Homo-oligomer: A and B are copies of this chain.
């Protein structure tokens, strides 16, 4: 995987705000860490994440209920909703989820989405955070990000440099093209709204006011710990709901940590993708570095983007050349 870097010809220090550099006009100043989903099991990992973000040049702050625990959640629903709204009023530009897990679906109806959009804050999270990304976009059209969270990404023993690098460049709006190996992709060259995230979370919003109606979009998906038959059942729901046919491309990230059984009898994730392709003529692009894996791109949910494939490579155009 490689990426174009508009800073290649300028001496850019991520921690500085170089007013001479045309790409630094909106350098994010700080990261506010909050917990809208599951409880943080290991506060030390959050400390490490914070330290890592500081080493990358960010000021950081931790929401006062980020380490709360109620049942399996990072605090009661009321506390987690308050944390979302508190994040809108503090000074740091980036608001990052400490972790995923589960907990957003049950508070979606209590979040003031217009206030989130109006705040201009740059929200980022992963997995369960897909519910936040999609609900915000469905309710207001505002863009937010999916990519690394504090935990596991920044708080794990070895930080994945490319993940951090992609995060930094995305936050600075420098990342123009994300290119990745994509040996089994359909030919495509299209533009549209980039949207998606964790497949189970995307599907968990179908039929609700938090599911965005996207025509001609670029839908990206990943999942973890779901058997291929469940992945297929979820894709089939999107298919039967007409969602897949409305897209210009379906971009597949990583589907990991599932176990096949003897009675699968040759049925694999490949069977699922083959079957899907037989029913849906929307181009499928594979190999997106995104999922419950160390290397994950930072992607803007709701932004206009382009996707193209050529010679076993795919190119996700995230930013127009000015």
Binding site for B on A (CB under 8 A): 38-39, 41, 69, 71-73, 102, 105-106, 108-109, 204-211, 229, 232-234, 236-237, 240-241, 243, 263-267, 271, 275
Chain B residues contacting A241 (CB-CB under 8 Å) are 207-208
- Bound state CA distance, A203 and B210, in angstroms? 16
- Nearest neighbor of A267 in chain B, beta-carbon distance: B71
- Interface CB pairs A-B, < 8 A, 5: A72-B263, A105-B240, A205-B237, A207-B211, A207-B240
Given A229-B102, A263-B39, A263-B41, also A207-B72 (CB < 8 A)? no
**Is the pair A233, B71 in contact by a Cβ cutoff of 8 Å?**
no
**Is the pair B72, A265 in contact by a Cβ cutoff of 8 Å?**
yes
Shortest beta-carbon distance from A137 to chain B in Å: 16
**Is the pair B106, A275 in contact by a Cβ cutoff of 8 Å?**
yes
Shortest beta-carbon distance from A68 to chain B in Å: 12
Q: How many copies does the complex hold?
A: 2
A-B contacts besides A73-B267, A102-B233, A204-B234, 20 pairs, CB < 8 Å: A39-B265, A69-B265, A71-B265, A71-B267, A72-B265, A72-B267, A105-B236, A106-B232, A108-B240, A204-B233, A204-B236, A204-B237, A205-B240, A206-B206, A206-B237, A207-B211, A207-B243, A208-B240, A208-B241, A210-B240
- Bound state CA distance, A182 and B160, in angstroms? 53
- Nearest neighbor of A71 in chain B, beta-carbon distance: B267
Partner among B41, B210, B237, B271 whose Cβ is within 8 Å of the Cβ of A207: B237
Chain B residues contacting A208 (CB-CB under 8 Å) are 237, 240-241
Chain B residues contacting A237 (CB-CB under 8 Å) are 105, 204-208
- Nearest neighbor of A268 in chain B, beta-carbon distance: B71
Chain B residues contacting A265 (CB-CB under 8 Å) are 39, 69, 71-72
Kindly name the residue among A102, A108, A229, A234 whose own CB sees the greatest number of chain B CB atoms within 10 A.
A229
Chain B residues contacting A207 (CB-CB under 8 Å) are 206-207, 211, 237, 240-241, 243
